[in-house]
Chains A and B, each alone.
Chain A
Amino acid sequence: MHILIVEDDEVARDTLAEALREVGHTVEVAADGLEGLSRAASTALDLAIVDRMLPQLDGLALVQSLRATGKKLPVLILSALGEVDDRITGLRAGGDDYLTKPYHMSELLARIDALARRREAAEASTKLKFADLELDRMTRRVTRNGKRIELTAREFQLLEFMMRHSGQVVTRTMLLEGVWDYHFDPQTNVIDVHISRLRQAIDKDFDKPLLHTVRGAGYSLREDE
């Protein structure tokens, strides 16, 4: 992906750019809001990562201006302010996702992948399919290799989320936000246990495990090991 980073903190900016390049993305940087806005408006980008506190033009104003021009560029807002209301403010300004500092790089990488995919996919389909796994959102039926799998309501939602992000890394925070709509950090490993239940249901009686744990990051629905 062609990514623009708008961040005034030099260390943060450089380490982030480095990390993104390492996984194969093309990265451009801007050190203030005005420069960031002009770059975003004039370049063909796949994604922008914008810090909230910027000199010249603050991050939210940047995003709002961008949206005002009709640009649909996916934007991930980075912020050192970490409150629920701040997140809502950021998303309302036109941001697509919001991440507070400090963050794990794996978290950021997972989220930008999700944002990129969101742009491509048309959400209309009621049936999701991955490998031999099929999920029907209307009938609430799940089958693997034709065999019916019984899931609780919550397990169904989890699976749906994983399938919509199939092939990608999904972090625990993303799951908590996407399935429960909670924006805090549970101290215990609640998500892990939910996932292991789901894994029991969809992988146990079958040859190929699909639901994998990605060390240090989260989980992924993948066909390979």
Chain B
Amino acid sequence: MEGRSRKVSPDQRFLGILNTSPFRIAIVYSIAFACGAAALLGAVNFAVSRVVDGSTDNLIEAEVQGLREQVMVLSRSDFIELVEQRSQDQDVRGAVYLMVDPQLRPVAGNVPAWPKIDANEGKWIQFDIQVPYGEETREHEVRARRFPLPGGYRMLVGHDVQERQDVKNLMMRGLIAAVVLTLMIGLGGGLWMGRRILAQAGAISAVATQIMRGDLSQRLPVRGADDEIDRLAREINTMLDKIEQLTLGMRTVLDSAAHDLRTPLNRLQATAEGAMSTLATGSPERRVLERVTSEVDRMRSTLDALLRIALAETGTVAREPVDLSDLVESVVDLYAPVSEERGITLQSSVTPGAQVQGSRQLLAQALANLLDNAIKFTPDGGRIRVQLNQSGAGPEVVVEDTGPGIPADKRELVLGRRVRLDEARKFPGSGLGLSLVAAVTKLHGARLILDDAAPGLRVSLKF
């Protein structure tokens, strides 16, 4: 309905998206995939590391064994020469050698100094060396095995493992990137799908509101995507076709019933009036006919009310923009002199510019019924207050009186047809007044609240 839609803030919309099932499903899946990717990459990383580490250590161990054998047979100077030879060998990249004397002074090798080693470290040690890169130097990590030589000399043999370390770091970064990317794609996809679903749901909900407000010609949009939402929309539309048919059928029935009751009433009235015109005023015959016409009046009144209620309930009423403020003031003005006559104070405070979409005549009658009741049941000298407030949600009309009110347990009851509480039976009227107010309220998508005005009745129509 063009009239009113609740404005939703961007924050509310965003939260709305988070609450959609596509979004939640997307999150669950992306977390699952992220975990899977992490596990896979982690396992690969671990396996590769182990293999690489293992092979490096084997190389180093083999070299150590070889040198140990050599140290048995070679003289010291020959051994030193051997170590130097190995150190300078350009074919074997990354090999690290260092031989030191008992005072830890370097004797041979390609490492400048014996690294600081903790006492509790085993044969295997890790330390850093500086490697030149053109103008700069970089720190590389080395894994080495130390062992003692005869004469208090020591030796370490190792390998530059920086590359291995670099690969490990690369893999770790790759793993993290993969996880993050998966999550982001999942999140992004979820938000996008959530928005789409929200828009579709919003479209359906908007049409549903229109339909509930009585516009039975509305149908749900079918996007042509042939998914379950489209099928659901089509099925609901078929249902609405049926409802529209039934409602129109009901209207026809009401019209027929109205016609069938009004025609004989009309004849009754016309015949009685025709006869009365020939009789003398005050004659007993005339008085009888006057009673007849008076009853016809009552029947007409009841029929009118029942018909209005039925039509309001089936929602088959034309709508237009209605100036509610104007209407309330106009109805109050209609009842002002009557209230004054009874010594009842009629106060009104109306916020101007309140607008609703609906039927001016039905709303006027509903308000008139409320004021009618208020005046009927408020004792002379009492007070009736009529207010029209505007809040964010919509206008609210309140009619308060200082009459006997309606006990809480009877409030549902009085909105039904023909219910008059015992206290009310002495007053004239058909008992349909509040029933009409309830039907009109519902038709306009408003809420009718009966409350205690302490003392009296407080009726509130919240649009």
Interface size, A (range): 35 or more
CB pair A102 B296 closer than 8 Å: yes
Whether A53 sits at the interface, judged by CB under 8 Å, is yes
Given contacts A84-B359, A180-B330, A180-B334, are A16 and B375 in contact (CB under 8 A)?
A: no
Q: Are A9 and B263 in touch, CB under 8 angstroms?
A: yes
Alpha-carbon distance between A190 and B433 when the two chains are bound, in angstroms: 16
B52-102 residues at the A interface, CB under 8 angstroms: none
Given contact pairs A12-B263, A81-B259, A154 touches B333 in the complex (Cβ within 8 A): yes
Q: Least Cβ distance of A144 to chain B in Å?
A: 21
Residues from 240 to 265 in B contacting A, C-beta threshold 8 Å: 255, 258-259, 262-263, 265
Interface residues on B, range: 35 or more
Q: Which of B7-15, B112-120, B304-312, B381-389 is near enough to bind chain A? A: B304-312
B237 contacts the other chain (CB 8 A): no
Known contacts A11-B271, A12-B270, A183-B361; A193 and B338 CB within 8 A of each other:
yes
Nearest chain-B residue to A215 (Cβ)? Answer: B281
**Complex interface: stretch among B198-206, B364-372, B406-414, B417-425:** B364-372
Chain B, interface SS category = helix
User: Is there contact, CB below 8 Å, between A188 and B375?
Assistant: yes
Q: Given the known inter-chain contacts A88-B318, A102-B265, A184-B368, please indicate yes or no for A15 contacting B271, CB distance below 8 A.
A: yes
- B362 at the binding interface (Cβ < 8 Å): yes
* Chain B residue with Cβ nearest A15: B270
What are the 8 tightest A-B residue pairs by CB atom distance, in nearest-first order? A15-B270, A101-B266, A80-B262, A102-B269, A193-B337, A84-B361, A102-B266, A80-B259
Complex: chain B residue closest to A16, CB-CB: B270
- Given A12-B267, A85-B317, A184-B361, are A190 and B274 neighbors across the interface (CB < 8 Å)? no
Answer whether residue A44 sits at the interface, using C-beta atoms and an 8 A cutoff. Answer: no
Asked if A72 is at the interface (CB within 8 A of a chain B CB), the reply is no
List residues of chain B with CB within 8 A of the CB of A193: 337-338, 341
The answer to whether A207 has its CB under 8 Å from any CB of chain B is: no
- Does A126 sit at the interface, judged by CB under 8 A? no
Give, as a whole number of angstroms, the nearest-CB distance from B115 to chain A: 101
Q: Decide if A102 touches B268 in the complex (CB within 8 Å).
A: yes
Task: Please determine whether A190 and B273 come into contact, CB atoms closer than 8 angstroms.
Answer: no
A-B contact pairs, 19 of them (CB 8 A): A11-B267, A12-B266, A12-B267, A80-B262, A81-B259, A101-B266, A101-B269, A102-B265, A182-B334, A182-B361, A182-B364, A184-B304, A185-B304, A186-B334, A187-B301, A187-B372, A188-B372, A190-B335, A190-B338
Cross-chain contact A189 with B338 (CB below 8 angstroms)? yes
In this assembly, does A19 line the interface, its C-beta being within 8 Å of a C-beta of chain B?
yes
Which residue in A16, A83, A182 is a CB contact (below 8 Å) of B368?
A182
When distances are taken between beta carbons in the complex, the residues of chain B under 8 Å from A214 are: none
Residues of A whose CB lies within 8 Å of any CB of B are: 9, 11-12, 15-16, 18-19, 22, 53, 80-85, 88, 100-105, 154, 180, 182-190, 193-194, 196-197
Note all chain A residues with C-beta closer than 8 A to B416. Answer: none
Q: Is the CB of A84 within 8 A of B270?
A: no
Q: When chains A and B are docked, how far (Å) is the Cα of A82 from the Cα of B333? A: 26
In the bound complex, do residue A82 and residue B270 qualify as a contact, i.e. CB atoms below 8 Å apart? no
B-chain residues with CB within 8 Å of residue A15 when the two chains form the complex: 267, 270-271, 273-274
Residues of B near A190 (CB, < 8 A) are 334-335, 337-338
B146 within 8 A of A: no
B residues near A196, Cβ cutoff 8 Å: 337
The reply to whether B262 and A102 form a contact with Cβ atoms under 8 Å apart is: yes
